[in-house]
Amino acid sequence: MLSPTTKRASLLASGAAVAGLLLSSLSGGVSYAADHESCRPDGLYKTPGVDVPYCSVYDTEGREKMGADHQRRVIGYFTGWRTGKNGEPAYLAKDIPWEKITHINYAFAHVGGDNKLSVGTDGPDNAATGMTWPGVAGAEMDPALSYKGHFNLLNKFKKQHPDVKTLISVGGWAETGGYFADNGERVNSGGFYSMATNADGSVNQAGIDTFATSAVDFIRKYGFNGVDIDYEYPTTMKDAGNPLDWQLANARRAGLVQGYAALMKTLREKLDTAGAADGRHYLLTVAAPSSGYLLRGMETFQVQKYLDYVNIMSYDLHGAWNEYVGPNASLFDDGKDGELAAANVYGSAQYGGIGYLNTDWAYHYFRGSMPAGRINIGLPYYTRGHKNVQGGTDGLWGKATAATCPAGSGLTKCGDGAVGIDNLWHDKDTAGKESPAGSNPMWHAKNLEKGIVGDYVTRYGFPANTTLTGTYVRKYDPTLVAPWLWNAQKKVFLSTEDEQSVAAKADYVVDRGIGGTMVWEMAGDYAWNAAKGQYEMGSTLTSLMYDKFKAATPYGAKKSNKPLPAKAVNIDAQFTEFKLGDSNYPITPKIKITNRTNTTLPGGTEFQFDYATSAPGNASDQSGFGTKVISSDHTGGNVGGLKGDFHRVSLKLPAWQSLAPGATVDLAFNYYLPVSTPSNWTVNINGTTYALAGDLARGTTVVEPGSTTPPTTPPTTPPTTPPTTPPTTPPTTPPTTGCTAPAYVAGTVYTAGSEVSHKGRTWKAQWWTQNEEPGTTGQWGVWKDLGAC
């Protein structure tokens, strides 16, 4: 693949309910269902030996419970720095459209120099835990909580909106390889790169353990429902991610993928263990790149099995890091992408004419290994843009080459990014100079479109008498599903989103059974202020998605589009030995098959699996296994979208090669565009077809080939029979009352089963809690009312 690196913004960064299920208020719930496995999402890894309370979050189809009017996710990033303290407009927890969203990702925490999760030193200037907003209606602190800041307000509003979940997002563009100290200066500590991977490329398990333990402590302390990892990027592609991190990251490239996998596995296991103790399932998610270039260096993104869901950063697909002028976040390819054309992607038979810089391609990449419902597509509430654009149609697919690149960008050739009034949300380089990017909130872009100079421009350093040059004309391409503003006089191109494009993307989510959407960031949404005659911060686009999703059918909860065998066997199939960086093309890993059954597999044994249509259906092998694509849900180019999800592959052990118990065989696999971990495996052994245990499918039972009973070794999929330990179903008769329980004390940590007396009544904690006053959490909350005393 010959594409330049695409990168994320430097701005960034239902089935039936289980009987007896008790939902929570502030931080998730507790399930009294005996069989938690019945609620485990298809393909999600389960920590061995831990009874994970999946039913606190998922229903018996493995779908997330988000409230009756939320059939799909609407995940909004809430940033910690829009406090209003710097003179710019504030966006606080009170401004979030709580009724319209399902999840909030707080951006950002970071990896501290001690490898622990951190938001900096506590104090009145700490936006997350110490800051206050006196006199601001709706920003009054909850006195029951021991901390202030955004975290206090988020938890205050969560009590009013118990279906909304919050996650702490760690990293982002600016804080993946370091962090901002309390004085605002960046500390190049190594961040994720050094915490997860040693200098020699080996896994830093000690650093990972420290971080994961601190993450559990953090979410318990501050009432979060889980952890969202924004590691940008654990890829072997040289010079990927923030240029400030290149020196440290490039030296570790060979080990970054393995460190990432170890990090996610450790986090999953520690969150599962903590969740079992606390009576709730904690979420683990990631923000994942959508660029085919970056994903090529991430092997098969094998961390997907540890994730409740993945949020695709399907934006920043074009921007001022290069000269190719195109949409920030197009839904589809149109066969005319200037960057892809320059790399001969459309003319190469190996690529199959598939354009890989669009949301639909990225979705199908992940669909190859995950149910549609465990995938969320990303939408930007900000613009990207160039100035001095030459050629193209109203700027689209033109070029804009900068004479010099911004200091600190690490680039020797780059695009001519829009500046000034066309770059309101600009970052600054290390010298404090504006970084050209054409980055604006959508409310500012709407004002540009209408020829309005908002009264807020003075708060961004522009004079009150600022006037606009030229006219910003809205354009729209229905094939790409992409709007933009074109100023012919200034030759400025600003890629935008608005009601038309967001409605089309919401329909796409509904039609394909996708889990939902993720937006960066909520403060960029808009609303019309008739009194002032201008657009300002609002919730127009988020409300539109809510309206589209509330009547949608439940999302797709299965990995496979076809029924798979209910019996599975313990045969491992792993993709290994990927070449690094630009050497990894064509993509030629080894498929390593290990027989962990007690039965010899005879020569000729056939395996089948699916891989994503993000790559053309021309996979092959060079090892004599007869690997061939036997069916395809999509053929040809992808203008207007890929038409299906999977290619089905068949391969057979050579006739002369049996595979004894414990033995391993490998073959050289060959394909041309990235795919996530191939899945939906089957194997035919002596005329009977089985699934593979490693697919982690719901409802399968691990057996010995030819047998109807489970093997003597522990299965990788939990049995479907209830556990022998008594279920934790609440008693049918209330316990006796009486003020014998100790008085409730604010700030004390209470665990499941703790009883307290408060205001003349006895209360029982249903799960871990701190600073939630009995009597304030509602009938589905943490405190169960045991009656007067």
pLDDT digits (tens, 9 = 90+) for 201-248: 999 999 999 999 999 999 999 999 999 999 999 999 999 999 999 999
Q: Which two tokens stand for residue 300?
A: 């098969």
> DSSP letters along 372-414, please?
GGGEEEEEESB-EEESS-BSSBTTBT-B-B-SSPPTTS--SS-
> What pLDDT sits at residue 781?
65
Q: Which two tokens stand for residue 539?
A: 């919730």
Task: Look at residue 15 in the predicted model and tell me its pLDDT.
Answer: 29
- Give the per-residue pLDDT at 431: 83
From the list 456, 635, 631, 438, the residue with the least C-alpha distance to 535 is 456
pLDDT at 721 over 60: no
Region 700-712 average pLDDT:
78
Look at residue 756 in the predicted model and tell me its pLDDT. Answer: 86
Percent helix, strand, coil in the chain, to 5, is 20, 25, 55
Give the pLDDT score at 755: 87
Distance, in Å, from the CA atom of 553 to the CA atom of 71, rounded to the nearest integer, reads 7
pLDDT of residue 785: 83
Task: Name the burial class of residue 31, with classes exposed (0-12), middle (13-18) and buried (19+) by CB atoms within 10 angstroms of its CB.
Answer: buried
75-84, 156-165, 355-364, 736-745: least confident range:
736-745
Task: Express each pLDDT in 395-407 by its tens digit.
Answer: 999 999 999 888 7
Q: What is the mean pLDDT of residues 493-506?
A: 98
pLDDT of residue 783: 77
Per DSSP bridges, beta strands 73-79 and 103-111 are parallel
Model pLDDT, residue 728 = 33
Residue 716 pLDDT > 90, yes or no? no
541-568: average pLDDT:
97
**Which has more pLDDT, 253 or 16?**
253
* AA identity, residue 438: G
Query: What tokens does 405 get?
Result: 């690149």
What whole-number distance in Å separates Cα of residue 330 and Cα of residue 315?
A: 8
Average pLDDT of every residue of the chain: 90
User: What are the start-end ranges of the E strands in 616-733?
Assistant: 620-621, 628-632, 646-652, 664-670, 679-685, 688-692, 701-702
Taking the C-alpha atoms of residue 102 and residue 161, their distance in angstroms, rounded to an integer, is 10
Assigned CATH for 567-702: 2.60.40.290
Location of structure tokens 């952890």: 227
Buried b / exposed e over 729-758, threshold 16 CB at 10 Å, is eeeeeeeeeeeebeebeeeeebebebbbbb
The confidence score (pLDDT) of residue 14 equals: 29
Point out the least confidently predicted range of 89-93, 172-176, 628-632, 732-736. 732-736
Spatial contact of 360 and 638, defined as CB atoms under 8 Å apart = yes
Q: For the domain with range 749-788, which CATH number is right: 3.10.28.10, 3.40.50.2300, 2.10.10.20, 3.30.465.10?
A: 2.10.10.20
pLDDT at 711 over 70: no
Q: Name the band, by pLDDT with cuts 50, 70 and 90, for residue 607.
A: very high
- Report the relative pairing of strands 283-289 and 226-230 from DSSP bridges: parallel
Is residue 766 predicted with pLDDT exceeding 80?
Answer: no
Per DSSP, the residues of 243-312 read GGGHHHHHHHHHHHHHHHHHHHHHHHHHHHHHHHHHTSPPEEEEEEE--HHHHHTTTT-GGGGG-SEEEE
Name 477's bridge partners: 482
Q: Could you report the per-residue pLDDT of 614-625, keeping only the tens digit for each?
A: 999 999 998 889
For residue 606, which phi and psi values (nearest 5 degrees)?
-100, 130
Position 740 scores a pLDDT of 85
Report the C-alpha gap between 535 and 443 in whole angstroms. 5
659 with 593: CB under 8 angstroms?
yes
Do 127 and 83 form a contact (C-beta atoms < 8 A)? yes
Mean pLDDT of 602-618: 97
pTM for this model (two decimals) = 0.87
Q: What pLDDT score does 708 carry?
A: 63
Domain residue limits, the chain? 1-13+68-317+358-379+511-559, 567-702, 749-788
- Answer whether 218's CB lies under 8 Å from 170's CB: no
Residues 412-465: tens digit of each pLDDT: 899 999 999 999 999 888 788 999 999 999 999 999 999 999 999 999 999 999
Q: 3-class DSSP state for residue 37?
A: helix
pLDDT at residue 196 tops 90? yes
The one-letter amino acid at 584: N
| Six token digits for residue 524 | 């960029």
Helix or strand run (H / E) with residue 342: helix 338-342
Q: Which fold has domain 1-13+68-317+358-379+511-559?
A: TIM Barrel (3.20.20)
What is the Cα–Cα distance from 183 to 716, expressed in whole angstroms? 49
Q: What is the pLDDT of residues 132-165, one digit of tens each?
A: 999 999 999 999 999 999 999 999 999 999 999 9
**pLDDT at residue 407, rounded to an integer:** 78
Q: What is the pLDDT of residue 778?
A: 62
- Taking the C-alpha atoms of residue 431 and residue 470, their distance in angstroms, rounded to an integer, is 31
Spatial contact of 216 and 270, defined as CB atoms under 8 Å apart: yes
pLDDT tier at 777 (50, 70, 90 boundaries)? confident
Rg (CA), the chain: 26
The whole-number average pLDDT for the span 763-786 is 74
- Phi, psi for residue 69 in degrees, rounded to 5: -100, 15
Section 99-123 average pLDDT: 98
